[in-house]
Chains A and B, each alone.
Chain A
């Protein structure tokens, strides 16, 4: 850091006298040194944690999020003033921190949250993007959306009611999406007199359930969002608990990016052809590495055509690169003048996907519009759009028992189902990977462009629990008793 900025500074007359670097704002003038240290910390290398929150309506999720933002000093004074005013107008004694995160007037009037809202905050060790998902009617749709790219999901439960159906559903949705970390926040611990036994029972029950889902990193924390116990700082009132606070856990949870070590997947978004006098023949394939690492000299295959080529360069506006890893947007140059266009996939490795015209997917219905077998759809996969047909609704997933049931005639909003899709053109699909950079798709209504469903290629339930999926062809009985524990 520390690059000089070109032009346009110090243009005001007499600016030479300005004490550049000090803080002009009167209320903060004394904290210069701290500010400079913090600025340096907040500008430099920090990781990014994407997480989502999920919970039932009255579990206090908005209060937790409000408390996280407030106690981590991410709420600024005008926002706080507005909360203070509104809380006083409602006759509340203390500021209602959930007002910080309720976005739309319709929500405030009805006291609900109707959609995923994104929050941003940073501490010196990490930057956070929080997908705040509401916990009522459209919970599945919103939880799937919010958790689709999450590294961690915070599930709230009320200490008085413990693990309820909704708690298990949120954990199951997180598992289906392949979210690696779960944090169970056992809220309102103050209302059970901070009793350790209550927390231990809930934590044990939840951990057993989540482990059965294949989620290995599970943390449970007793909190009171209302009073701030264990949200940002550890609470003295819960002396028997020796673990981290919620924020401490978010700051320290270990993130493992496995995608860099995988085989290269590079969906071509756009072909760059300047056609200028200086660059008459330049042809670059612009995209974002969705898995693996690419280097000049790599042998690659272009799909679906199957043509082979060699990477001759990795171009960026900052100059050529010696390598690019998953998540990076770059432009690839190839040795041969292969016929490549948007939607093609550049791949490498020993596991090149075979283009197919029929495959199965696990989808979540996102629109309030029925989806039937025989529906003509537009399929979005990577950078490809293609016409497709839903050839069969194979199973409906019962999220409570985690078993398949006979599919209904039409899928409804929030249904999770296994279906078969046939495409007009061969597609190099491959099984969904956590994070969705590989194997994710959208089902779009070709008539008006509505996103009907989001899907994961393959049988995600089988991926979670192979033994169970194998014998689930028969409609499962309601075995709410856990096959997991």
Chain B
């Protein structure tokens, strides 16, 4: 199979999206990304190679065509990432001539700045390496693929979200945003998180991926995998916590709706092997994206709100 990478600079770019509402979302996201380039000195895209970050990079490429994307990439690697996703990430970076900074959670554990959690989950451990790297590299704008439809706390997130020197988010201090006027002013040490996909829904993302022919890591599409059941999710086995006693490994047709830390990202049963089938499945499904696949959001009703306050995305 020939690999066609979304960032190859000489590739004739995709055909035009024909849905008026996807076109409006695309224009809005491009406007936001150009504001970042115009207002900040050292912006970075948080790039996990998950579909939302792949989409952000794709839009950035369109925003600055035919020039290079004026942002570098940052990935917080938990050490439990899907190997397929890391390989995809590295191919994108190499083909696009992009600059990637990787912050490895393992490095923070090794030198004692972080301690492994008893449950082995590393998703919550990403915050410290993220905030440390933002401060160390002096990134002043950190672009992420989060969407307001993902979760209740995110429904109140701004497109330009001010963070203090510790990466913290105070909902009461966020600036009102009107008329597409984005205020990126910040004090030294503070930074702004920018969410160009704020107004997209999961379905919009998939419809756009289809329309633009954007490549994704293969684990987004149905494949057979050894998994075990826990808390109503299918988890991949690994040294970090599974399967436990009474949990048995089965080989099943699954796909991932989000790609995060393997220890807490669950697969859903699926036979959707292409993007159209995925879209039909999303419409049919009755479980929201994060609820179906992220164990860390089930910790408490306010789990996301708490993690955002601490500097998580």
- The size of the chain B interface, using a CB distance under 8 A, is 99
Q: Is the CB of B302 within 8 A of A105?
A: yes
Q: Is the CB of B223 within 8 A of A12?
A: yes
**Which chain A positions have C-beta within 8 A of B30?**
288, 329
**Which chain A positions have C-beta within 8 A of B155?**
101, 103, 117-119
Q: Is the CB of B215 within 8 A of A441?
A: no
CA distance in complex: A145, B280 (Å) = 35
Q: Is the CB of B179 within 8 A of A435?
A: yes
Q: Is the CB of A279 within 8 A of B66?
A: yes
A284 CB, min distance to chain B CBs, angstroms: 8
Known: A20-B274, A103-B153. A44 touches B280 (CB 8 A): no
- The size of the chain A interface, using a CB distance under 8 A, is 106
B-contact bits for A116-150, CB 8 A (1 contact / 0 none) = 11111010000101000000000001101100110
CA distance in complex: A138, B19 (Å) = 37
Q: Is the CB of B66 within 8 A of A282?
A: yes
CA distance in complex: A44, B21 (Å) = 9
CA distance in complex: A104, B185 (Å) = 26
Query: A426 on the interface (CB 8 Å rule)?
Result: no
Q: B19, B172, B212, B284: which contacts A35 (Cβ < 8 A)?
A: B284
Q: B38, B280, B281: which contacts A270 (Cβ < 8 A)?
A: B38
Within 8 A of A (CB), among B264-298: 268-277, 279-281, 283-288, 291-292
**Which chain B positions have C-beta within 8 A of A48?**
20-21, 24
Query: A352 on the interface (CB 8 Å rule)?
Result: no
Q: A76, A118, A331, A440: which contacts B287 (Cβ < 8 A)?
A: A76
Query: B47 on the interface (CB 8 Å rule)?
Result: no
A-contact bits for B33-53, CB 8 A (1 contact / 0 none) = 011011000000000000000
A446 CB, min distance to chain B CBs, angstroms: 8
B-contact bits for A367-388, CB 8 A (1 contact / 0 none) = 0000000000010100100000
CA distance in complex: A282, B4 (Å) = 26
CA distance in complex: A457, B272 (Å) = 52
CA distance in complex: A20, B274 (Å) = 7
Known: A25-B285, A76-B285. A9 touches B183 (CB 8 A): no
Closest A residue to B274 by beta carbon equals A9
Within 8 A of A (CB), among B108-156: 148-149, 152-153, 155-156
CA distance in complex: A259, B302 (Å) = 42
Q: Is the CB of A103 within 8 A of B176?
A: no
B286 CB, min distance to chain A CBs, angstroms: 4
Q: Is the CB of B3 within 8 A of A18?
A: no
Query: B211 on the interface (CB 8 Å rule)?
Result: yes
Within 8 A of B (CB), among A54-90: 76-79, 82, 86
CA distance in complex: A206, B212 (Å) = 47
**Which chain B positions have C-beta within 8 A of A22?**
271, 277
CA distance in complex: A342, B28 (Å) = 18
Q: Is the CB of A141 within 8 A of B288?
A: no
Q: Is the CB of B198 within 8 A of A318?
A: no
CA distance in complex: A142, B171 (Å) = 14
Closest B residue to A76 by beta carbon equals B288
Query: A436 on the interface (CB 8 Å rule)?
Result: yes
CA distance in complex: A13, B273 (Å) = 12
**Which chain B positions have C-beta within 8 A of A442?**
178, 181, 183
Q: A39, A287, A329: which contacts B280 (Cβ < 8 A)?
A: A39
**Which chain A positions have C-beta within 8 A of B179?**
148-149, 435-437, 440, 454
Closest B residue to A141 by beta carbon equals B176
Closest A residue to B4 by beta carbon equals A6
A20 CB, min distance to chain B CBs, angstroms: 5
CA distance in complex: A262, B211 (Å) = 31
Known: A1-B210, A21-B276, A28-B284. A46 touches B180 (CB 8 A): no
Q: Is the CB of A441 within 8 A of B224?
A: no
**Which chain A positions have C-beta within 8 A of B224?**
12-15
Query: B194 on the interface (CB 8 Å rule)?
Result: no
Query: A407 on the interface (CB 8 Å rule)?
Result: no
**Which chain A positions have C-beta within 8 A of B201?**
120, 122
Q: Is the CB of A103 within 8 A of B156?
A: yes
**Which chain A positions have C-beta within 8 A of B4?**
6-7
Q: Is the CB of A449 within 8 A of B186?
A: yes
Query: B64 on the interface (CB 8 Å rule)?
Result: yes
**Which chain B positions have C-beta within 8 A of A174?**
none
**Which chain A positions have C-beta within 8 A of B177?**
145
Within 8 A of B (CB), among A1-57: 1-15, 18-28, 31-32, 35-36, 38-39, 42-48
CA distance in complex: A10, B37 (Å) = 38
Closest B residue to A20 by beta carbon equals B273
A127 CB, min distance to chain B CBs, angstroms: 5
CA distance in complex: A141, B174 (Å) = 13
Known: A21-B277, A24-B271, A269-B38. A45 touches B18 (CB 8 A): yes
Query: A315 on the interface (CB 8 Å rule)?
Result: yes
Q: Is the CB of B209 within 8 A of A24?
A: no
Q: A11, A28, A269, A327: which contacts B35 (Cβ < 8 A)?
A: A269
CA distance in complex: A385, B54 (Å) = 31
Q: Is the CB of B1 within 8 A of A7?
A: yes
Q: Is the CB of A145 within 8 A of B178?
A: yes
Query: A427 on the interface (CB 8 Å rule)?
Result: no
Q: Is the CB of A449 within 8 A of B34?
A: no
Q: Is the CB of B276 within 8 A of A148?
A: no
B276 CB, min distance to chain A CBs, angstroms: 7
Q: Is the CB of A449 within 8 A of B187?
A: yes
**Which chain B positions have C-beta within 8 A of A105?**
301-302, 305
Q: Is the CB of A317 within 8 A of B178?
A: no
Q: B31, B180, B292: which contacts A78 (Cβ < 8 A)?
A: B292
CA distance in complex: A269, B32 (Å) = 10
CA distance in complex: A144, B177 (Å) = 10
**Which chain B positions have C-beta within 8 A of A4?**
213
Q: Is the CB of B180 within 8 A of A18?
A: no
**Which chain A positions have C-beta within 8 A of B178?**
144-145, 148-149, 436, 440, 442, 454
Closest B residue to A103 by beta carbon equals B152
CA distance in complex: A274, B97 (Å) = 14
Query: B99 on the interface (CB 8 Å rule)?
Result: no
What would be 22 A-B contacts, judged by CB atoms less than 8 Å apart? Answer: A1-B207, A7-B4, A11-B221, A14-B224, A15-B223, A20-B274, A23-B280, A25-B269, A25-B281, A44-B18, A48-B24, A102-B152, A104-B156, A118-B148, A269-B38, A272-B66, A317-B61, A329-B31, A436-B180, A448-B187, A449-B187, A454-B181
Instruction: Please provide the 3 A-B residue pairs with the shortest distance between their CB atoms, ordered closest to farther.
Output: A449-B185, A12-B223, A436-B179
Other than the known A5-B275, A22-B277, A118-B199, what 17 A-B pairs have Cβ atoms closer than 8 Å?
Answer: A7-B215, A11-B218, A18-B253, A19-B271, A26-B269, A35-B284, A39-B279, A44-B18, A48-B20, A106-B171, A120-B148, A120-B199, A141-B176, A282-B66, A329-B63, A446-B185, A448-B187
